[in-house]
């Protein structure tokens, strides 16, 4: 497996022979095809991190993530969500299907 991007808590790999990707979440490593990886990106990027700093909007500062058609469930705190957002942003750039960060932020 080839390493695509590593953030503080998570690592994205590409497995050429299987034609899929793996995210190592620390506790477990999850295989994903591109559609599942895009679905993860959509979920992660839809999370409003500002809500984590408002106790009315997010009382406990946690997010529940259901991945790969409800096969996996993760409960992540604010720092882990921020880190996962970073992995997704840079990982997609490294995979060549997203713009580099400078272009994306224009």
Q: Rule CB under 8 A: which residues touch another protein?
A: 2, 14, 16, 19-21, 33-35, 38-39, 41-42, 92, 95-99, 103-104, 106
Closer to another protein by CB, 52 or 91: give it: 91
Spatial CA neighbour of 72 closest among 42, 36, 45: 36
Distance CA 74, CA 16 (A): 26
Minimal distance, residue 85 CB to another protein, in Å: 14
Residue 74, beta-bridge partner list = 65
Nearer to another protein among residue 35 and residue 60 (C-beta): 35
Residue 20 neighbours by CB under 8 Å, 6+ apart: 14, 31, 32, 33, 34
Q: How far is the CB of 41 from another protein (least distance, A)?
A: 7
Which of 62/94 has CB closer to another protein?
94
Cβ at position 52, least distance to another protein in Å? 22
> Rounded to an integer, what distance in angstroms lies between the CA atom of residue 93 and that of residue 82?
17
């Amino acid at each position: 497996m080839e390493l695509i991007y590593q953030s503080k808590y998570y690592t994205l790999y590409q497995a050429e022979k299987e034609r899929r990707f793996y995210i190592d979440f620390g506790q477990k490593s999850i295989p994903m095809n591109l559609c599942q990886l895009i679905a993860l990106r959509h979920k992660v990027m839809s999370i409003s991190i500002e809500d984590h700093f408002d106790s009315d909007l997010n009382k406990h500062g946690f997010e529940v993530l259901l991945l790969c058609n409800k096969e996996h469930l993760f409960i992540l705190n604010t720092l882990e969500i921020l880190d996962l957002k970073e992995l997704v942003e840079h990982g997609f750039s490294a995979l060549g299907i997203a713009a580099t960060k400078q272009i994306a932020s224009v």
